Structure 1
Amino acid sequence: MLGKLEQTKARLGGIHKALDAFLNARQALLVEYIRLSTHRTLPSQAELHEFCGQLVDYVSAGHFEIYDHVLAAYESSQGNARILAERIYPRIKRNTDEALNFHDKYTQADDDTLLELDQDLNRLGELLEERFSLEDRLVSAIDLVDHLDTSAPA
């Protein structure tokens, strides 16, 4: 996932400050995810709480910062780009719901819940990989570059 992120940053980085911030948040989330998922012992409640906060911040940033630009571009797009966007956005919404379920489950997890953490982190990793791919496809499909507000350069 880190390799794909670097490719995305190389392709889309510097286009717009909101997109750069979003990609940096993605990277921070991914680094923390890797750290948690490779932990040999259960993380502390504070570590898990921090990660859950990053997860919510990331999915929120997508919906409230990047997707506003995406939706504006979507509304003016036509043809295959519009069809692809119509297919991708509902999948991102379902993915968001699952990420928020992880957050809700682990923000104040008890010892019994923590026993499920490895399995849930594996599932979350799959979700994040899917989400990153969907977000990249959505941005590329509607050629966000041409539709972003040029008054706010990187």
Structure 2
Amino acid sequence: MESLITDNKTITLLLATLFTGLLAGVFFTWSNAITPGIGRLYTLSYLRAFQEMNRTILNPLFFLVIFGAMFFSFATAYFHKSNTVLFWLFLSAAVIYFIGVFLLTIMGNVPLNEMLNKTDLLTISLEDANVLREKFEAKWNTLHLIRTIVAVISFLLLIIGCLLKNKV
């Protein structure tokens, strides 16, 4: 019997579940508290706060979590290819994460973040700031809500897999 510590199936499953859960938690916190909270700010304060948060979150630990969740989810599916039920469960978690979190982030949220990041908020007029916020806020929040839901679903599929691992 393989040791729990050296079993690739178990290690990748635990890391996939951990990283996906961490990201789902970060996304949930943003959806539940951060974006509603800063949404109450005046336009320039809102834009400045969002700029700073977007700049701050781009760090090695965040990248480890967002890329690690994807990598370890696909690795988990691969290592469970001999078990049809678990393979499809883990592959589903990986694919929906890839499409609904990773691609959505790259194709939706990142371009909005870049649009905001390149704006000089010290020289922008209030009228232009209001236009920028109008282009940014609702669309970013909608995309973020979608990726939050998808991250939670992916996390739940991995948890179900953890519970079924020794039963199917």
Quote how far apart the aligned CAs of 1:129 are.
0.8
Cα contact 1:74–1:82 (8 A) shared by 2: yes
For residues 82 and 44 of structure 1, the distance between their equivalents in structure 2, rounded to whole angstroms, comes to 38
Question: Relative to 1, partners in 2 of residues 1:56 and 1:129: Cα closer, same or farther, differing over 3 Å?
Answer: farther
Q: Does residue 47 of structure 1 match 2:65?
A: no
Quote how far apart the aligned CAs of 1:84 are.
6.1
Question: Relative to 1, partners in 2 of residues 1:20 and 1:144: Cα closer, same or farther, differing over 3 Å?
Answer: same
Look at both structures and tell me which one has the larger radius of gyration over its CA atoms: 2
Cα contact 1:56–1:103 (8 A) shared by 2: no
TM-score of the superposition, structure 2-length normalised?
0.58
Quote how far apart the aligned CAs of 1:126 are.
0.7
Question: Relative to 1, partners in 2 of residues 1:50 and 1:29: Cα closer, same or farther, differing over 3 Å?
Answer: farther
Q: Which moved more, 1:73-82 or 1:96-105?
A: 73-82
The one-letter amino acid paired with 2:38 is: L
The one-letter amino acid paired with 2:34 is: E
Question: Relative to 1, partners in 2 of residues 1:69 and 1:84: Cα closer, same or farther, differing over 3 Å?
Answer: closer
For residues 68 and 96 of structure 1, the distance between their equivalents in structure 2, rounded to whole angstroms, comes to 16
For residues 86 and 21 of structure 1, the distance between their equivalents in structure 2, rounded to whole angstroms, comes to 18
Cα contact 2:74–2:90 (8 A) shared by 1: no
The two structures, once aligned, show a CA RMSD in angstroms of 3.4
Quote how far apart the aligned CAs of 1:117 are.
1.2
For residues 22 and 95 of structure 2, the distance between their equivalents in structure 1, rounded to whole angstroms, comes to 25
Q: 2:111 aligns with which of 94, 101, 106?
A: 101
Quote how far apart the aligned CAs of 1:132 are.
0.9
| 1:78 aligned counterpart, secondary structure | helix
Q: How many residues align?
A: 132
Please, which runs of 5 or more residues in structure 1 have no aligned partner?
1-14, 148-154
The one-letter amino acid paired with 1:26 is: F
The one-letter amino acid paired with 1:123 is: K
Cα contact 1:19–1:66 (8 A) shared by 2: yes
Please, which runs of 5 or more residues in structure 2 have no aligned partner?
1-16, 81-85, 164-168
Quote how far apart the aligned CAs of 1:64 are.
2.3
| Residue equivalent to 1:137 | 153
For residues 27 and 100 of structure 2, the distance between their equivalents in structure 1, rounded to whole angstroms, comes to 18
Q: Does residue 70 of structure 1 match 2:73?
A: yes
